[in-house]
Amino acid sequence: MRTIWNGSISFGLVNIPIGLALATQRDDVSFRTLHRECGTPIKQKRWCPHHEREVEADELVKGWEVAKGEYVVVEESDLESVALQRSQSIDILRFVKLEDVDPVYFDRTYYLAPAAADAQRRPYVLLLRAMQETGMAAVGKFVLWGKENLCLIRAQGETLAMELLFFADDVRSKAEIEEAVEATEVRDAELGLAEQVINSLVGEWEPQDFENEYRRDLKAMLDAKLAGETITRPEPVAETPVIDLMEALRRSVAEVQGTKKPKAAPAKSGSRKKTAARK
């Protein structure tokens, strides 16, 4: 597996060599902006509306907006004064229960690849087994591409995975939502029907069961255009009328029950005895 960063996990006197590999990669379709008349890709220009002219790269500087239209100019030398020291180590700060970390803090997932040599791989496996047994995860910090990152290392099957975490300041408060929820009451009958809807849709988590249907249809449409086929616009979807909550729940239960395949009735004991007797 190709790694984008190589370093180590360190805590106490333990040092575990690892490589950082991307765990996810989107396969979305991307587009370029073209000039309709000739089909040429459009170039984006650096334009200064004050001087009404294009600006070269060496004329650009960073600016921090302190008020509407007011900026503090920040030079590269200013940023160097607070630059982080380059490090090849993920420093573990604390071990926590994995179940205590709210997924809202998860940003992006990476796989941690062990070293190739057997002797260097043993500490990796030891940490993985210890996390599997205890259900604990490791919170740490490391520097990647000049930025300080908070991370969570956890066991994922037979692999150590690392989640880049948002800092607490990055997660928006949900107090306003919680206040609105706490001020709203629901009836027992409504709750009972809602639970029926949930129970009727319970299943196993199988990621391969869920397809990006828009991506599939978009690629099919593009293939059709490439083949010279005419693309027809679909009919607009009629708006769903607003109905009573209880009625909506009842319909939802009935709809789910109607789509379920009926289970085969178990054979009666008497029938099995007769079948055996015939043999």
pLDDT in tens, 152-188: 999 999 999 999 999 999 999 999 999 999 999 999 9
CA–centroid distance for 203 within its chain = 21
Residue 245: name the closest of 184, 177, 187 by CA: 187
Give pLDDT, residue 259. Answer: 67
Tokens at 141, concatenated: 């910090």
Number of domains in the chain: 1
Residue 97 domain flag:
yes
Neighbours of 157 (CB within 10 A): 8
Residue 161 domain flag:
yes
Neighbours of 144 (CB within 10 A): 17
pLDDT in tens, 105-145: 999 999 999 988 888 899 999 999 999 999 999 999 999 88
Residue 11 domain flag:
yes
Single-letter code of the amino acid located at 22:
L
Single-letter code of the amino acid located at 157:
G
Domain span at 147: 5-25+83-170
Supply the DSSP symbol for 38.
T
57 within 8 A of 65, measured Cβ to Cβ: no
Tokens at 8, concatenated: 């180590």
From CA 196, how far away is CA 190, in angstroms rounded?
Answer: 10
Residue 110: name the closest of 3, 15, 16 by CA: 3
The model carries a pTM of 0.73
Residue 278 domain flag:
no
Q: Which residues contact 219 (CB under 8 A, 6 or more apart)?
A: 29
Residue 104 domain flag:
yes
From CA 144, how far away is CA 78, in angstroms rounded?
Answer: 20
Decide if pLDDT at 270 tops 50.
Answer: no
Residue 166 domain flag:
yes
Task: Report the alpha-carbon angle 65-66-68, nearest 5.
Answer: 75
pLDDT in tens, 63-94: 999 999 999 999 988 887 887 776 789 999 99
